[in-house]
């Protein structure tokens, strides 16, 4: 009798520098899920997507993990940001970056680093208190 495991998502968990995959697989086998997060019905709220994009961008620039894991983190963050922009009716430079960058394949490390820096630069106004969002709805 064969045991079928679900396909692993790109990178919703922190990028381990070494090992750690056995713990993730054990969690999946036991039915605990990744990080215990429930499945989301739609895109995250726009501010959450921006925050997630900034976290992924910092991980890429800090090279906090294997290139494949960082690619997964950034791709997931860009997809969520793009979907959140669409759902919120946002039309700004950050949304445009997410829409353009997420379709680039293959995403090599220099492209990921440049995209991560642009994401941080464009989202700076989104996260600074009192700064205008810069969106045109």
Q: pTM to 2 decimals?
A: 0.67
CB atoms within 10 A of CB 24: 16
Least confident of 2-6, 44-48, 121-125: 2-6
Residue 4 has pLDDT above 50, yes or no: no
Angstrom CA distances, 67 to 23, 53, 60, 72, 80, stand at 20, 17, 8, 9, 20
User: Mean pLDDT across the chain, nearest whole number?
Assistant: 77
Higher-confidence residue of 130 and 28: namely 130
Residue 41: the pLDDT is 80
Enter the tokens of residue 89.
């009716």
């Amino acid at each position: 009798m064969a045991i079928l495991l679900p396909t692993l998502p790109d990178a919703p968990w922190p990028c381990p520098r070494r090992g750690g995959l056995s713990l993730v697989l054990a969690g999946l086998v036991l039915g605990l899920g990744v990080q215990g997060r429930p499945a989301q019905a739609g895109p995250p709220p726009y501010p959450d997507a921006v925050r997630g994009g900034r976290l992924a961008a910092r991980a890429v620039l800090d090279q906090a993990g294997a290139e494949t894991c960082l690619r997964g983190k950034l791709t997931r963050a860009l997809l969520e940001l793009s979907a959140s922009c669409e759902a919120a009716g946002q039309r700004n430079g950050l949304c445009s970056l997410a829409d353009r960058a997420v379709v680039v394949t293959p995403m090599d490390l220099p492209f990921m680093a440049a995209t991560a820096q642009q994401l941080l630069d464009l989202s700076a106004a989104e996260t600074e208190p009192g700064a205008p969002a810069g969106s045109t709805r």
